Structure 1
Amino acid sequence: MVGLNKNILRSIIILSYIMIIALILSGISALFSYLNTGADRSSMLHTEIQKVAQYTPKLTWTPLQNEGRHMDSQNLIALQNDYLDAWYVKHIAYKTNKTAGIKDYYTDSARTHLCDFIALNKDQNITIEATTLSHNPTLDFFSEDGQLAVITDRDVVEYKRIFKDNEPILETTETATYKIVFLLEDGFWRIRHLIKESQMPFKAKISKIETNNLSIKGINYYPKDTPWNMFGDKFSKDIITNDFKIIKQAGLNTVRIFVQYEDFGKAEVKPKKLEKLKQTLDIAEAQRLKVVLTLFDFYGDYSVMDWTLNQRHASTIVDTFKNHNAIVAWDIKNEPNLDFESRGKSNVVAWLDAMIHLVRSTDSIHPVTIGWSNTASASILKDKVDLVSFHYYEDINELDTAIKTLKKNIPNKKLVLQEYGISSYSGLWKPFGSSEEDQANYHKKIQDIIADNNLEFMSWTLYDFTEIPKEVVGRLPWRKNIQEHFGFIKQNGERKPAFRYMAKP
């Protein structure tokens, strides 16, 4: 037995020795490979910059006709990536008054000026939130040794918001032209010189979109079993087709549907979600229904540093579907004024302005609107949108006056009553709520008001729901139960008395 134990111990020692030798050899091999092939650039970065979607302004190169050596696509992509990263780290530095990352994208001489500027701002408690939204670079020169490049970047749209002592003192959007000289150092295209050659206030091109012939008689739509998750795993073309038939037969011509920012992949829009959205638009077209597509649902950040990601998200969707026959209008965001208190009104309005410009520059045919939660906010950006949309869940007896006030303040734009309705819930959590008959009377009366004021309209909503995400109305049961009973059709498929007033009888 003693001999057996010695043999086992000897075997364990030999195996351990072999494993230690193997690990040492593996480490030496990895080091040798590293020294001979060069370190991966991503492992060299001392910043948070990684090759993920975090700064994606629209960038359009002029066809290459530069002096010097021809630049291949690999070098051009590397130059482009480092150029955008240089802008990104500069924006981060201006916002935080810290210089982390600057040395990776600017040469010694270039970063001296940047660091001095940042130090001055820090001393005076000034911070700058900024981003660029579009670039149009031209490669002017690429040296024969591949170590120097010169570009001219024209019509750079740059947004800035300047704060002193945490209070905003200036907000501006400019169009500028830059001349940039790059040196290739340690595998990075670093900026040696960045000179602003010209600048002027940015003026968005606003083309008038004809809306006089527009007729929106519609409804906000979610399938009854998947509210706020229409494009998830339970997506069903058959259910949507049947529902759209019901909507069309009720005398309506439009549906409003929602694209949720995170669900669709944020900046990297998911192809599977686009395909489901396309199928939905195809079904609408087959049923002779138009679609108001609401973007950025469940988005609520508005951070300037996120603008290029938001821009990429919206441009992907709008560019994909701008020629689809079902699209009738783009709705930038649902009820953004509800974020005024938590995110700051100026931040939200500036973001909306930028997204309106993005959608308009991508699609110059279809009108743009914003789904304000009330009439009080509906005049905001009235000169930038084509349709003024508002929601109304207040006292119906005050609606006519509110509409006339809006018409007086906004005489030259079509008004869309984009959401309205009343719950038929009356029970434990609201014993004196409205009945189904009350709901029918409400819709009959509001259709009269709509007709008298010649409004476009979209009611809320086709079905009663049983599952409502907490993100919509929270967890409180009295709020959820009320929200579940706004539909014209019960969960069991039975039509409520209000169904006959979905459109003007």
Structure 2
Amino acid sequence: MVGLNKNILRTILIISYIMIVALIISGISALFSYLNTGADRSKMLHTEIRKVEQYIPKVTWEPLQNEGRAMDNQTLNALQNDYLDAWYVKQVAYRTNKTAGIKDYYTDSARKNIIDFIALNKADTISLEATTLNHKPTLEFFSEDGQLAVITDRDVVEYKRVFKNEALVLETTETSTYKMVFLLEDGFWRIRHLVKEMSTPFVVEANKINTDSLTLKGINYYPKATPWDMFGDAFSKDTISNDFKIIKAAGLNSVRLFVQYDDFGKAEVNPLKLEKLKQTLDAAEENNLKVVLTLFDFYGDYSVMNWTLNQHHAKKIVSTFKDHNAIIAWDIKNEPNLDFDSRGEDLVVSWLDNMIDAVKSVDSIHPVTIGWSNTQSATILKDKVDFVSFHYYEDLSALDTAIKTMRKDIPNKKLVLQEFGISSYSGFWKPFGSSEEDQANYHKKIQEIIASNNLQFMSWTLYDFVDVPKAVVGSRPWRRNTQKHFGFIDKNGAKKASFKYITN
């Protein structure tokens, strides 16, 4: 028994020794691996900025003709990345009145002014929301030792909102010029000196687009089986093309389609989604239909810090398809006025205003509109849009008067009734709803109003839907079932009585 215990003890000691040796070897290996790899700034610095996800203003460098040493593209990209990181960190600091991250992107002398400014704002209960949308930097000087660079950044478009005791007191967009000295420290470019040389109000000249030829007799479109998920896994060009044939044969000339910000990949637009959208536009062109493409559907975060991401998203889609023959207009946002209460009307309108400028900077040919949810909001930004779009789901008896009021308030722009319709659902969850006959009478009447007022229109919608996602109207069955039955064609493919009045 004594010999057995000794053997057990000996075995335990041997196993323990082997484990200790393995841990030592593993530790040495990890240390060796660390010493043979470059430093990871995301771990080295606590800010862990990722501009691809958080901050992507437009940057256009002037041709490199600087004094001193020539700068290669790799160094220029590193300098640009650190420069934009510095902007982003400063904007976060001004919004929160906290200095976290400032020391990572500014040297001692440069960050003193920032820290003092934050302390003053904090004492006065002032905060600042800001972003830059455009930069045009020029490399003025790069030292022979590669440790110092001087940049002049012109036409920096800055949008700012100033708050006092959390109340908005100032909103401004300006164009500024900055001069900066950078030092290379620990392998990273930090701002040592920054001077704002000049600043002027930012003014965008109105790009007036002739809409005389614009004629919309159309319909809002989703496939029957995949509403609000048109470009998902069940995407089918054949299905869409067949539906477009039905729309064209009904006497309509256009469709309104929707791009969802999250679905399309946010700032980094998914190329697979772009390909599906291209196939859809191709199908429209093949069937001689024009497309009003609505951007930012189901997007409700207008935060200033996200503007560069939003504009990057919009510019990618617009630049990709601005030359497609099917495109007839861009619709910036579907029913943004529904976000006024939750996000603030001033912020939403400023976001729309700047987004119009962003789209027009890429496409100066196609008109731009906004899909307001009612007639009351239609006058907002009426001088920025090229035609005015509004939705109407209210009592038809008031529509004629509402149109005349809009015509008085907006005398020089075309009006498009961009959404309208009525559900034919009358069942267990809504026993006093409308019938298919009621729906037909509704469309007959509204087409008479459209014709008498010489309105352009896009109705809602071609099909009754098999299912409606809860994210669209919520989980209440009376709302979901009602939303399923707005179509001119039922879920079995049979034309309803209202189809006779799909156009006037």
For 1:121-160, list aligned pairs within 5 A. 121-160=121-160
| 2:321 is the alignment partner of 1:321 | yes
Quote the offset at 1:32 in angstroms.
4.0
For 1:325-404, list aligned pairs within 5 A. 325-404=325-404
Quote the offset at 1:46 in angstroms.
1.4
- 1:289 alignment counterpart: 289
Contact 1:110–1:191, Cα closer than 8 Å, also in 2? yes
Cα deviation, 1:181-234, whole Å, max 9, x if unaligned, reads 100111221011111111110011321101011111100000000000000000
C-alpha distance in 2, partners of 1:470/1:12? 61
Cα deviation, 1:115-172, whole Å, max 9, x if unaligned, reads 0000000000000000000111111111111100111111110000000001010000
Contact 1:154–1:177, Cα closer than 8 Å, also in 2? yes
Cα distance change on mapping 1:487 and 1:5 into 2, 3 Å: farther
Quote the offset at 1:354 in angstroms.
1.0
Moved more, 337-346 or 38-47: 38-47
SS state of the match for residue 54, structure 2?
A: coil
Contact 2:468–2:480, Cα closer than 8 Å, also in 1? yes
C-alpha distance in 1, partners of 2:5/2:245? 82
C-alpha distance in 1, partners of 2:302/2:118? 24
For 1:157-176, list aligned pairs within 5 A. 157-176=157-176
Contact 1:139–1:152, Cα closer than 8 Å, also in 2? yes
For 1:219-230, list aligned pairs within 5 A. 219-230=219-230
C-alpha distance in 2, partners of 1:6/1:297? 75
The residue type paired with residue 278 of structure 2 is K
Cα deviation, 1:64-123, whole Å, max 9, x if unaligned, reads 111111111111111000100100000000000000000000010000010000000000
Quote the offset at 1:8 in angstroms.
6.5
Cα distance change on mapping 1:376 and 1:3 into 2, 3 Å: farther
The residue type paired with residue 483 of structure 2 is Q
C-alpha distance in 2, partners of 1:117/1:55? 23
SS state of the match for residue 332, structure 2?
A: strand
Moved more, 474-483 or 116-125: 474-483
Cα distance change on mapping 1:359 and 1:21 into 2, 3 Å: same
Cα distance change on mapping 1:164 and 1:257 into 2, 3 Å: same
Contact 2:105–2:189, Cα closer than 8 Å, also in 1? yes
Cα distance change on mapping 1:18 and 1:366 into 2, 3 Å: same
For 1:343-492, list aligned pairs within 5 A. 343-492=343-492
| 2:18 is the alignment partner of 1:18 | yes
TM-score (norm: length of structure 2): 0.97
C-alpha distance in 2, partners of 1:421/1:37? 63
- 1:102 alignment counterpart: 102
| Structure 1 gaps, min length 5 | none
Contact 1:41–1:187, Cα closer than 8 Å, also in 2? no
The residue type paired with residue 368 of structure 1 is V
Quote the offset at 1:33 in angstroms.
4.4
Quote the offset at 1:18 in angstroms.
2.4
SS state of the match for residue 189, structure 2?
A: strand
Contact 1:289–1:326, Cα closer than 8 Å, also in 2? yes
Quote the offset at 1:16 in angstroms.
3.9
SS state of the match for residue 152, structure 1?
A: strand
SS state of the match for residue 331, structure 2?
A: strand
| 2:73 is the alignment partner of 1:73 | yes
SS state of the match for residue 488, structure 2?
A: coil
Contact 1:66–1:140, Cα closer than 8 Å, also in 2? yes
C-alpha distance in 1, partners of 2:17/2:322? 67
C-alpha distance in 2, partners of 1:266/1:90? 24
Cα distance change on mapping 1:5 and 1:490 into 2, 3 Å: farther
Cα deviation, 1:231-257, whole Å, max 9, x if unaligned, reads 000001111011000000000010001
Contact 1:139–1:150, Cα closer than 8 Å, also in 2? yes
For 1:259-274, list aligned pairs within 5 A. 259-274=259-274
C-alpha distance in 2, partners of 1:75/1:341? 46
| 2:79 is the alignment partner of 1:82 | no
Quote the offset at 1:323 in angstroms.
0.6
Q: Report the aligned-residue RMSD.
A: 1.5
The residue type paired with residue 476 of structure 1 is R
C-alpha distance in 1, partners of 2:215/2:164? 48
- 2:116 alignment counterpart: 116
Contact 1:68–1:143, Cα closer than 8 Å, also in 2? yes
C-alpha distance in 2, partners of 1:63/1:255? 44
SS state of the match for residue 194, structure 1?
A: strand
Cα distance change on mapping 1:21 and 1:488 into 2, 3 Å: same
TM-score (norm: length of structure 1): 0.97
Contact 1:104–1:188, Cα closer than 8 Å, also in 2? no
Quote the offset at 1:9 in angstroms.
6.1
SS state of the match for residue 235, structure 1?
A: coil
| Structure 2 gaps, min length 5 | none
Contact 2:51–2:85, Cα closer than 8 Å, also in 1? no
Contact 1:157–1:173, Cα closer than 8 Å, also in 2? yes
Quote the offset at 1:393 in angstroms.
0.1
The residue type paired with residue 475 of structure 1 is S
For 1:2-17, list aligned pairs within 5 A. 10-11=10-11, 13-17=13-17
- 1:280 alignment counterpart: 280
C-alpha distance in 2, partners of 1:249/1:471? 33
C-alpha distance in 1, partners of 2:162/2:501? 51
Cα distance change on mapping 1:449 and 1:9 into 2, 3 Å: farther
Quote the offset at 1:62 in angstroms.
1.2
Contact 2:373–2:391, Cα closer than 8 Å, also in 1? yes
C-alpha distance in 1, partners of 2:393/2:421? 7
C-alpha distance in 2, partners of 1:228/1:348? 23
Quote the offset at 1:334 in angstroms.
0.3
For 1:169-208, list aligned pairs within 5 A. 169-208=169-208
Moved more, 24-33 or 266-275: 24-33
The residue type paired with residue 421 of structure 1 is G
C-alpha distance in 2, partners of 1:467/1:393? 21
